[in-house]
Each structure stands twice: as C-alpha cells, then as structure tokens.
Chains A and B, each alone.
Chain A
C-alpha cells in the first residue's frame, strides 16, 4: 500500500469519527497554537526591544552617580569630569554629551490653560551623533549655543504640532515653566524621534533639547551634570571602557572603591532584557510543550480505543492480505494525520491569536517560518510517538483471533 493511499484511508477512517477526531486533535491544537503565540510574541518583543536600542545607539554607555550610595558634594559628576574623560578616552569615543535633564510644562498656543508636559534635556552639541537622530528642519544645537548658554531649543515634531498646530515653527518662541519660573527659548530645529515599536505607557512627555549650560543655569547648578553619554567606536569593549572611566573618576574624586559612580552600557542592558525574555519564552514554551505531550497521550489513548474497536476490521484486512507493515502504517498514519492536521489548525490559530493578542496588548508579534516548521515537525513527531504503540499492537494481532473478536 503506498503512502498517498494510506493517507487517504486514514482520512476516511478519521472522517467516519469526525467528532472524536476533532476532540482528539484539540490537545495538539491547543498545544501548538499556544507555542506559536508565545514564541511569536516573545520574538516580536525581543525584536522591538533590539531595534529600540539600535535607535538609541547600541554602543552607547552612560556614566552617572550611583543613586543608592550617599553622595556628597565632592562626589558629584561635573563638567570638568566630562571634559577630562572625553580627552582621556578620545580614541575610543565616537561622540559624547553631558546631560542635565528636568521636567517642565508649556501651554498650547491657542488654549493657554492646556499644559503640555515636557522632558527638557540639556545636551551637548554632539548629542545628535550619540543617538539616532533625524532632524527634519532647522539645525541641531551648535558649540556656540553651548558656550554662550543660548536660550535655544530643538523640539520634536509632535510638540510643534500639539503646541502650535503646525510643523514649521522655526524661530517661534517656546516658553518652558518650571516651578513657576518661566524661560523662553527660540526654536532652532525640529526633529522626528525614531518610531518606537514598544507601546508608550500613558501620555508621553514631549522631548525638548536645550544646551547643557543653559539647563545648568535653569537648575542653578554650578558645574554639576546629571550624566554623561558616550557613543563608542566600533569594536570597543563597552564594559571595559566603563570600568576605566569609573577608575579615572574615583581617582579624581578621591573616593576609590566607594562605589559612588555607576556605568551602564546599552549593550549590557539589552543583554539582560534578552536574557529575561529568553527565560520567559522558554518557561511559557515549556508549559505549552507539556500541553503537547498531554495531547500526544490523548492521541495514544484514542488510537488504543480505535485498535480495540476495529480488531475485527484488522482481522479482515489481514485475512485478505494485509501484512503487519500495512496495518502498522495504517494506524501510524492515522495518528500522524490526527496530530498533523491538529498541528496545521494549531499553527493557523496560533498565528491569528498572536495577531489578536498583539493588537490588544500592543506588543508586536513575529511568526517566523522556522517556528511553523518546527511546530509542524514536532506535532508529527508527537503523532509518531503516540501512534507507535497502538499501531504495533494492531499489527501484532493474530488474524484468526481478530476475526473471532466480538
């Protein structure tokens, strides 16, 4: 009996017991669809996180005061530190920026009572090279702006639209209120932030960039900066640079081994997030795999019932010339067809389900062809494993006994 013939016979046998076949498939359907959904959402999130980090420069490092330690005046990072580090590590650094940030509000131009929350970032003139930055009009902050503490600002497009109701707002005035103190800035550039694949939690504050020096004056800082960001040249070991930079700072501040400084690399964070995602995906994946095993046991159970029920049929088939192999293949293929069809339905449901879930929890879903192939192969293997014992039992039946079976 050839293969296609066997599949046809198996399909016929399954069609006769439609409801039972469907219920038997259910275990596999649930197992495969949950595996597909979980993996799709896991991969999607991972992909989104990775591209998010790419936007902010995967080779970036940050140096800042360790929040958990008691920080004294003499431990605070200063502009001097920033300049010293910039000089020492000139060969490893591609671009750098000191950063001082604070939050403020501005109002809508035609609705004075409506506040817009702002995330004000005092940055250096190289900041546009530190992160993935797309200027759509005007210019970025210049060295001159920094040196002479100009009240100029580069704002994001969404803020321009929200505040002024238009995109072209170069030269317009932006007043930023902080603790009842209002400062006015001239808008010199408008940029578009990279599209985020991850959902924003609640109303996002709009981003404004102003010179570090100006921000320092607003906050009444003498020489302090909040943190420094460096983007490193290719093939520079970020963790190593962080360690050396902290060493320099500790020597300079005379607080060696007191843990007053901390450094983070985007790569390191990315690794941690990826690791967590991987663990989460494998844990949920393992749970889904257990449901597949349960599905397999369901198939084995129903195949055993089927073999007992069809003992006489097996006897007839043997009497008219079916060999052990013919019977074995017949029942094995029936099990594989159940699990295979279950796998296909499960894959389809999994893809649809991951899209639906992704729509509601705003996490991207990516179903790779590899996952589908693995899921299908796995469900087929479940079928083989579950069908082997019952099929072998059927094949070994004695034709005379089987024919007499009532």
Chain B
C-alpha cells in the first residue's frame, strides 16, 4: 500500500543544504499499526509530510495505493490527501469557531459528497469517537481530548487508506492519552492503517511496528509483537 523507494528530501535555502531525509526505503501494508519515532530533527516530521502528500520528495519514488505521487501537481495532491489520507495533529488543528459537526464535514464537502450523505457519515464518525453528544459544540467549548477526538473523526470520515497522526497525544494529559490511543487501536482493529509519529516511547510501544529515525535515515524497524492488543 505504501512503498517508499530511496526517498530524499533536501531543503535548499541558498547557502545551506539540509538533507532531511536520506534515501528512505519503506513499505507499509494495509491494516498496519505503525509508529515513527525519533528525536526532533531526525526527519520524522518530513517523513510524515511526504507520507501525507503535503510535500513531495526531492528524489525517489513514493507509491500510495498504486499511485506514484511525484508527478502530481498541487491540486492532484490535494485530492489524494482528501480521499486517501486522514491527518491528526498535535495541536488538533480544528477550524475555529465552527461546530464539531462542520469540522468533521469538511473533507466530505471538499470531495463533493451530497449533504444528506454527509450528515449520515459525520454522525457515524463522531459516534465512533464517542462524541455524538458534542456535535454542535465549537472547538473552544471542547476539552483537549474532545478536540482530538473531533480531529480523529474528521480524519476517518472519508474512509482514507491511511490515518497519519503527528504527536497526537503531545498536548494531552496521561489519562486522555490512553483514551485517544484506545481509539487508534480500535480503528486499527477495524481495518484502518494507522501511522503515528511520536517521540514518546510509551506511545510507540502501543503500536505493532516501530520505525526509528535518526539523521534522516531509518536506524531500526521492529515489530512489537509481545505488546499486541493490550494496554
């Protein structure tokens, strides 16, 4: 499903060239529950941007769901993000001042889903994250955990191939962290491919596969078999 072939990302700021990714080869299959770990500056955020089609690699091939994405223009990338990727951010990144419902509805609006169908799918998505009673609340009326659940509902509402979470629990307390990770586990158990970028080893340990980045390269890629399906 995801296949990276010698991916390079170089930021050229004129004088200095920063090599954020240096020849990444990686394969992630449908239904996997993966964590990407590494210190800051290790290239994991760049990796996430490329996996999520927010950014294009400088070099190398990236195949998502059978499509090579290097040759696509910005709008085609937008469509891929819309259909195939669900983003979850550390800072939640909800659209302020509009309701939870409308936030979850947005990806469907951009993929031109009809209003009645949107309502059905948004309701289901919010039910899946346990927020059916907060639909009409605005982000500033929700707690951190609730905001992140809205974000998760928004990420999964369009049935994407991959759910990409960038430090999803970074702004949450430990109790809420467990709740959110439970949701990710459930989503994965129901078939979703989930990739979590984190620097917390406890979070990484919850996933099935742990990929460690350092200086733009993968230094380890291991399975966490022993920790499967329990917290």
Contacts and interface: CB of A to CB of B under 8 A. Distances in A.
Interface of A: 1-2, 5, 9, 12, 16, 312-313, 315-326, 399-400, 403
Given A313-B96, A324-B74, A325-B75, A319 B54 contact: yes
A312 B82 CA distance: 17
B81 interface: yes
B175 to A, nearest CB: 27
B83 interface: yes
27 contacts: A1-B110, A1-B112, A9-B109, A12-B98, A312-B93, A313-B96, A316-B93, A317-B95, A317-B106, A317-B110, A319-B81, A319-B87, A320-B110, A321-B79, A321-B81, A321-B82, A321-B83, A321-B158, A322-B78, A323-B74, A324-B74, A324-B75, A325-B75, A326-B78, A400-B49, A403-B54, A403-B89
Contacts of A312: 93
Contacts of A322: 78, 82, 106, 110
Given A317-B110, A324-B78, 16 more contacts: A12-B102, A315-B93, A316-B94, A316-B95, A318-B78, A321-B78, A321-B111, A322-B106, A322-B110, A323-B75, A323-B79, A323-B110, A399-B54, A400-B54, A400-B55, A403-B93
Nearest to A15: B97
B82 A320 contact: yes
Interface of A is mostly: helix
Interface in B35-76: 49, 52, 54-55, 74-75
A321 B112 CA distance: 11
A320 B55 contact: no
A403 B52 CA distance: 13
A321 to B, nearest CB: 2
Identify the interface centre among A2, A312, A323, A326: most chain B CB within 10 Å of its CB: A323
Given A400-B54, A400-B55, A403-B89, A320 B94 contact: no
A326 B52 contact: no
Contacts of B95: 313, 316-317
Contacts of B106: 317, 320, 322
Interface size on B, as a range, is 20 to 34
Contacts of B112: 1-2
B201 to A, nearest CB: 25
Contacts, number: 64
Contacts of A324: 74-75, 78
Contacts of B185: none
B148 to A, nearest CB: 14
Contacts of A400: 49, 54-55
Identify the interface centre among B78, B83, B87, B95: most chain A CB within 10 Å of its CB: B78
B107 interface: yes
Contacts of A325: 75
B154 interface: yes
Contacts of B54: 319, 399-400, 403
Contacts of A319: 52, 54, 81, 87, 93
Contacts of B98: 12
A320 B81 contact: yes
A312 B95 CA distance: 9
B226 to A, nearest CB: 35
A325 B73 CA distance: 13
B104 to A, nearest CB: 10
A1 B107 CA distance: 10
Contacts of B107: 320-321
Nearest to A2: B112
B154 A320 contact: yes
A326 B81 CA distance: 14
The 4 closest A-B pairs by CB, nearest first: A321-B82, A323-B75, A321-B110, A323-B78
Contacts of A1: 109-110, 112
Interface string B82-120: 110001010001111110001000110111100000000
A16 B79 contact: no
Nearest to A9: B109
A16 B154 CA distance: 22
A285 B70 CA distance: 55
A11 to B, nearest CB: 12
Contacts of A320: 81-82, 87, 106-107, 110, 154
Contacts of B78: 318, 321-324, 326
Nearest to B76: A323
